Amino acid sequence: MDRNQSHRNRRRALKALHFTGLFLTMMIICIPGLWIVLNSFRPTVEIMAKPAIWVPSFTLEHYRAMFAGAGEGGVPVFSYFRNSLIVSVTSTLIAILIGMSGGYAFARYRFKGKNGYFVGLMLFRAVPGVALSLPLFIVFAKAGIIDTHLGLILAYVAMNVPFTIWLTDGFFRQIPRELHEAAEIDGCTRWQAFWKVEFPVARSGVASAAIFAFLTSWNEFALASQLTRSVGSKTMPVGLLDFTAEFTINWGGMCALAVLMIVPALILTFIVQKHLIAGLTFGGVKG
């Protein structure tokens, strides 16, 4: 009995240490985000104060200036938000449709050069976006799609497709082939078997791939800063540069816009967190 009690106490202590470590790690990770939120409500004097002031005076000055319009020191935040939403949603939908088709093909069919194509896609995804910015700029300039939604959408689709193919390939491989074979025996076509049997099973995995693709497009800065110029095409990450001048930086306004960027991503994550967790753990446990 004493040995069992000692074993239980040890497990409780290890569990407590585990949760304490996770809590401290999350606190460290969240400090930069918390600091941005606090700075968005601080007067400029408090932002630059040394030592740092953790409890701000809570002013909405930076948000008022940001929404006031460019003539009063603000930025066209609604235009930047609209551009980000159009580019992120459109590129995500296209990348998921292509990635889901490609992932299903790699998971279900055999064809010549299959492994080579897959490795090539993964190698393409490993290339940093900054390294591709100059070639893309030259190609897009000759095609006449610099400073347009179309150009940015094409760049983000090319960036997200290899990742979505890799994710969805893993999800579809976890689905037994017997499911679609049984559906075909029952009279379904190959297309019907996919949409009515296999896709519902892998839906959580596809949703998680879509979330990652959306967040990648929503937060991307390097390519957007090279391929956009005007208010009609700039996204919110590029809009942060509007708060920089030759000798000064409006830290409060920059933090306020950063908060507006973070909020939609957080809302989306909380809405679909069930699908996200299910997708990330899909196939991890077999019955």
Please give the Cα distance from 284 to 272 (Å, whole number). 19
Please give the Cα distance from 34 to 54 (Å, whole number). 10
Instruction: Note the pLDDT tens digit of each residue in 180-207.
Output: 778 778 777 777 888 888 888 888 788 8
From residue 262, alpha-carbon distances to 29, 39, 48, 103, 253 in Å are 15, 14, 23, 30, 14
Tokens of 23: 């809590």
Please give the Cα distance from 235 to 227 (Å, whole number). 10
Residue for token digits 């930047």? 80
CB–CB of 255/64 below 8 Å? no
From residue 263, alpha-carbon distances to 25, 52, 92, 256, 269 in Å are 22, 25, 19, 11, 10
Please give the Cα distance from 216 to 163 (Å, whole number). 11
Burial of residue 215 (CB within 10 Å: 0-12, 13-18, 19+) is middle
CB–CB of 165/121 below 8 Å? yes
CB–CB of 62/253 below 8 Å? yes
Instruction: Note the pLDDT tens digit of each residue in 14-67.
Output: 888 888 888 889 888 888 888 888 888 888 888 887 787 777 788 888 888 777
Domains contained in the chain, CATH given: 2-67 (no CATH), 72-280 (1.10.3720.10)
Instruction: Note the pLDDT tens digit of each residue in 5-20.
Output: 677 778 888 888 888 8
Q: Indicate the average pLDDT of the chain.
A: 82
pTM, two decimals, is 0.80
Instruction: Note the pLDDT tens digit of each residue in 199-253.
Output: 888 887 888 888 889 989 999 988 898 889 888 899 999 988 888 876 778 888 8
What pLDDT, on a 0 to 100 scale, did the predictor assign at position 151? 92
- Who contacts 50 (Cβ-Cβ below 8 Å, separation ≥6)? none
> Does residue 276 have a pLDDT over 80?
no
Q: What is the CA radius of gyration of the chain?
A: 24
pLDDT mean over 257-283: 73
H or E stretch covering 254: helix 251-271
Between residues 87 and 191, the one the model is more confident about: 87
